[in-house]
Amino acid sequence: MMMLLLLLPAPRALVRWAALPQRLPLPLTVPRAGLRSPHTALFSRGAVSRSASGASSVATARRRGAADDGKLAGKFDSPTGQPRSVKEIPGVGMLSSLYWLIIRGYVSEYHELQIIHHKRFGSMWTSYTGREMFVCLADPDLIEQLMRQEGPYPVRVIMSAWDDYLMMRGHSKGLLTQTGADWKRMREVLNQRMLKPREVMQFADPLNAVVTELMGHVRARRGNGAATAVFPLPDVAQLLYRFAFEATRLINVKLAEVKDCISRGQEVRGEYLTYLLASDRLSLPEIYSNTTDILLAGVDTTSNTLSWSLYHLAQMPALQEALCREVNAVVPGDAVPGIDEVARMPLLKAVIKETLRLYPVVFQNARCIVDDGVVLGGYSLPKGTNLSLCQYVLSMDGDVFPNPREFQPQRWLRGKDRAAWRHGSGGEGEEGAAAADDAATSEKTHPFAYIPFGFGLRGCVGRRIAELEMHLCLARFVKTFEMMPEPGAKKVLPKTRGVLVPSTPINLLLRERL
């Protein structure tokens, strides 16, 4: 809320805005053609029905006015055949954005507000965050065209306030805020150890050690009850968040020790840190800031995604048992899964993938045009234009994902794995068969309709490690405990809090499997 207040227009402007409804239509009113007043532009710059702009509208021209992409051309062409101005993009003005957030109360449901705007304006519209205008994209073809024509130094959004804070505290920029050649240099160093599958394998043992400790914490909640006793696990998200955050605190302590060792001229042990420190391309402050950025970014991703996964598995016992059978078939007895075993658990990976579709931790991504401008969707976007890639809107689009608000991991299964589910080995009743046709459409899903970790050069550098951590933890959780919903509990919905989080605590009942 403090950040929102810092971005608000001056108080005098708000006073004038308070008087506007007496003379102007409400922000929801769409002005008729030819009757727009100068004031109305503050609220809305035109409106286009979804059928007019196209639920699956696509871009028609490439960067800097290059020739049309033959497959995508024509659906956004202007009557004159020339790119239109960014000012002609339909959307909501600055004051209308404030109205929706403050008066209508969507500040904590911003992800749902984007769906409202998508239905009203189509797949491309404008909105404001404070004084900054964003061009919002909610079409996989538009997002693909934007992503595939990025230059060597893509920029999310210029965060000057965060840059000032880092400078004031004497901290170096990390991957999150760095841009240009310095960002690329950092990224190239970190990519070597964080995105190559062979390198990621080395993280399995320490991650499993953390998961084992977590299982001990959960088991301790049972107290002195019988081994088969049902016991409560309140606020799952908070437990997982605290556990993940404790891990980052311990890493920060380790980094401080490393810094001290270097200052004393002593040898530094530890494979990952040794690799970073051995690189002459990163300074010590850059190593510290990048490691901290990566660890903190992983806290929300792993804790929230695992919480939602456990929540839905508790609601769907047939799915939970199918997943338990899969895990036990690959990792029998007291064995602990590794990266090779996870590769043989398609349903496990599908559960995590479906959770990230339904609850993307980062519900929107962002880009800033830093070159000479681009032509996208029939509009000319000048240098400095901010864009919002509305991932949550895509995940809730029934044209992209059938029954989008239903938790259906089977939609991600392929070939024989999908056939096994269809024939009942993956579930029973409606959970096992009725959704099989929906799952069959997953092979046709647009690759840019699902990008929870971003894409391209600025995609999440810790993606493979985060996925491995979630897979290992969920496999052990399902193998160790049977999960049940709290009796009488209301449905838990997501809310916007910088990232997408549960609106109310997720409370479960557990029983240890013997």
Decide whether 57-170+363-401+445-451 matches 180-345+456-512 in CATH topology: no
- C-alpha of 81 from chain center: 36
Query: So what's the pLDDT on residue 9?
Result: 37
| Summary mean pLDDT of the chain | 77
Please, are residues 406 and 437 in contact by the beta-carbon 8 Å criterion? no
Enumerate the known binding-site residues for heme: 460
Q: Which residue has the tokens 């009557």?
A: 79
Q: Which residue has the tokens 């001056």?
A: 10
Position 34 pLDDT exceeds 50: no
Q: Which amino acid is at 18?
A: A
Q: Tell me: the pLDDT tens digits for 344-374?
A: 999 999 999 999 999 999 999 989 988 778 8
Q: Which residue has the higher pLDDT, 229 or 165?
A: 229
- CA R_g for the chain: 25
Query: So what's the pLDDT on residue 287?
Result: 77
Q: Which residue has the higher pLDDT, 62 or 473?
A: 473
Q: What does the alpha-carbon distance between residue 432 and residue 305 come to, in Å, rounded to a whole number?
A: 23
Enumerate the known binding-site residues: 460
pLDDT confidence tier of residue 443, bands split at 50, 70 and 90: low
Residue 174: closest CA among 269, 261, 255: 255
- Helix (H/G/I), strand (E/B), else coil: 31: coil
Taking residues 134-151, report their average pLDDT.
91
Q: Tell me: the pLDDT tens digits for 267-307?
A: 655 556 566 666 677 777 787 777 777 776 777 788 999 99
| Half-sphere CA count of 125, side-chain side, radius 13 A | 31
Beta strands in 225-342 (DSSP E): 230-233
Q: Which of 76-90, 398-412, 457-471 has the lowest mean pLDDT?
A: 76-90
* Beta carbons within 8 Å of 307's beta carbon, 6+ residues apart: 236, 237, 240, 502, 506
> Any idea where the domains of the chain sit in the sequence?
57-170+363-401+445-451, 180-345+456-512
Check the CA dihedral 54-141-348-366 and report its sign.
negative
Please, are residues 84 and 377 in contact by the beta-carbon 8 Å criterion? no
Q: What does the alpha-carbon distance between residue 347 and residue 351 come to, in Å, rounded to a whole number?
A: 6
Check the CA dihedral 474-480-484-489 and report its sign.
negative
Q: Tell me: the pLDDT tens digits for 198-215?
A: 777 877 888 888 889 899
The CB density around residue 207, as the number of other CB atoms within 10 Å, is 20
Q: Tell me: the pLDDT tens digits for 246-268?
A: 655 555 565 566 667 766 766 65
Q: Tell me: the pLDDT tens digits for 371-385?
A: 778 899 999 999 999
Look at the domain 57-170+363-401+445-451 and name its fold: 3.30.43
Query: So what's the pLDDT on residue 188?
Result: 83
Q: Which residue has the tokens 């107290």?
A: 223
What is the CATH architecture of 180-345+456-512? Orthogonal Bundle (1.10)
| Three-class HEC string of 424-457 | CCCCCHHHHHHCHHHHHHHHHCCHHHCCCCCCHH
Q: What does the alpha-carbon distance between residue 275 and residue 452 come to, in Å, rounded to a whole number?
A: 28
The CB density around residue 270, as the number of other CB atoms within 10 Å, is 12
Beta strands in 138-216 (DSSP E): none
Residue 377: closest CA among 56, 59, 54, 52: 59
| Three-class HEC string of 323-374 | HHHHHHHHCCCCCCCCHHHHCCCHHHHHHHHHHHHHCCCCCCEEEECCCCCE
Instruction: State the chain's maximal CA–CA distance in angstroms.
Output: 77
Position 24 pLDDT exceeds 50: no
